[in-house]
Chain A
Amino acid sequence: MASPPFRPPQGRPAPAPGFLRRLDAFARLAFPGFSTGFLMVLAAAPVSLPSPVFAAALPCVFFWSVFRPAAMSPPVIFGLGLLLDLLTLAPLGAGVLVLLAVHGAALRFRRFLARQSFLAVWLAFCGAALVAAALFWGLQALLALRLPPFAPALHAALLSAGLYPAVALVLARAHEAMRHAETAP
């Protein structure tokens, strides 16, 4: 792009909205949702773990809701929840509501949580995971009109609490890299 020679540049020039840059921005925006969905699909692969789909989805949704809520918007969460319901054999809508509730809670406390240490965030996530698993169980009971066994829900909560540090480690790296890319000229 040729700028007029008589006008000296003031400050940093705005980046050109080229195709690559737009693609880059879109990739950053879409990464949380797609990575979470992919992780859930991987977790649904037949291995001998108790309900790892729920346990894989929860830390991702929580992390992105706290640290990058713009990329983890409610419609994305709605899609992820639908995927969760379809991958597990939960009644339709239960996973959607649970993930939306986690997202809402994380959004509400994100200003407080983002300033805390990792350990505090993890503890908060543990509480959230327990409540979410209980809610998921309750919704399943309500929608199917029979009591499912409680142990799998507890397992899922414990598993997601245990998975959170590993997931958060990787996602924090990705988040840092994205922030770095956004602040770079």
Chain B
Amino acid sequence: MIRLSIPLRQALARLSLPLMIAAAFGVMLLGKADALLAERLRSHLADALSPIYAALAEPMGAVRNLVEEVQDLSQLRQDNAVLREENERLRRWQAAALALESENELLRRQLNFLPEAAPAFVTARVVADGGGTYARAVLLATGPQHAIRKGQVALDERGFVGRVTEVGSRSARVLLATDMNSRIPITLESSRARAIMAGSNGARPRLSHWPEGVMPVEGERIVTSAEAGAFPAGLPVGVVRVSPQGAPEVELFARLDRLDAVRLFDYGLRGILPPESVTRPEPRPGRR
């Protein structure tokens, strides 16, 4: 320690405050003159202090977790109460459903209603799309052990996809509903009117041949019709959308652009005749 005389020390002590204030103004000037100086100093300070903050982060995180835990617990109580109430409500609904089911059973017995057999189906992977005779068709990989038949109905997890048109020993081709050659008998669900859904090679098949006096309404659900014995009734197909030109089209439920697997249902329908049984019309005698 440097030994100084007492008056000198006192003078220094008295002087130090004004001196430091002057230095503060100097620092201000320095800060104004070199704007990057403060940034550099701050980054150095942050580098030096970061271990302290890293050490602090652990206990602070623990405290924060504790607080969150307590909040979660109170939230849990509320959730529990809500769930209990919902459970009660659902129990009432379940009772109602069971009552309706038994009533339905009873009514069916009295009506001598013939229940439909659950259809058998196989699921096949889509291995290629396009190719072949049709513009909109997919190829399925099947095995010889699966009895795939021409005319079987293909559905994906959402709705109607198309039907099987060609069957090989290890593959089957499905003609999609959007193909130009596809004609599907359908029912407009709310008006119960029959119509034909005709593919156009576009994303949305068109509707045609609906009966007079009925107009397909935008958003109306469309299901297959059992007419002609090609499909079972009531498979979900899509909803009606009116095109900008005013023509009714069908927005399909199935996602035909991203098919990866389809289910092939065998409803045992023989509506589609094998080609050899089709009698070709006699060629007309030419007009002279």
Contact = CB atoms under 8 A, between A and B. Distances in A.
B60 A100 contact: no
A97 B21 contact: yes
A93 interface: yes
B45 A86 contact: yes
A77 B17 CA distance: 10
Interface in A91-141: 91-94, 96-97, 100, 103-104, 107
Interface stretch (B26-34, B186-194, B209-217): B26-34
A59 interface: no
Contacts of B45: 83, 86-87
A41 interface: yes
Interface residues of A, number: 28
Given A86-B38, A92-B38, A93-B25, A78 B20 contact: yes
Nearest to A77: B20
A93 B24 contact: yes
A49 interface: no
A75 B16 contact: yes
A74 B25 contact: no
Nearest to B21: A100
Interface stretch (B49-57, B100-108, B112-120): B49-57
Nearest to A70: B13
- Which secondary structure dominates chain B's binding surface? helix
Nearest to A78: B20
B42 A86 contact: yes
Contacts of B70: none
A26 to B, nearest CB: 10
A29 to B, nearest CB: 11
B27 A75 contact: no
A74 B28 contact: no
B16 A74 contact: yes
A172 interface: no
Contacts of B19: 74
Contacts of A75: 16, 20
Interface string B1-40: 0000000000001001101110111111111100001100
A94 B25 CA distance: 9
B140 to A, nearest CB: 59
Contacts of A86: 38, 41-42, 45
Contacts of A47: 60
Given A45-B56, A75-B16, A86-B45, A92 B23 contact: no
Given A78-B23, A100-B17, A92 B31 contact: yes
A52 interface: no
A103 B18 CA distance: 12
A77 B41 CA distance: 18
Nearest to A87: B45
Contacts of B27: 82, 92-93, 96
Nearest to A93: B28
Given A74-B17, A74-B20, A97-B21, A143 B56 contact: no
Interface string A13-52: 0000000000000000000000000000110111100000
Contacts of B52: 41
B282 to A, nearest CB: 91
A185 B53 CA distance: 41
Nearest to B56: A45
A43 to B, nearest CB: 11
17 contacts: A45-B56, A74-B17, A74-B20, A75-B16, A75-B20, A81-B24, A82-B27, A83-B45, A92-B30, A92-B31, A93-B24, A93-B29, A93-B31, A96-B24, A104-B17, A104-B21, A143-B32
Q: Which 3 A-B pairs have the closest CB atoms?
A: A92-B31, A93-B28, A74-B20
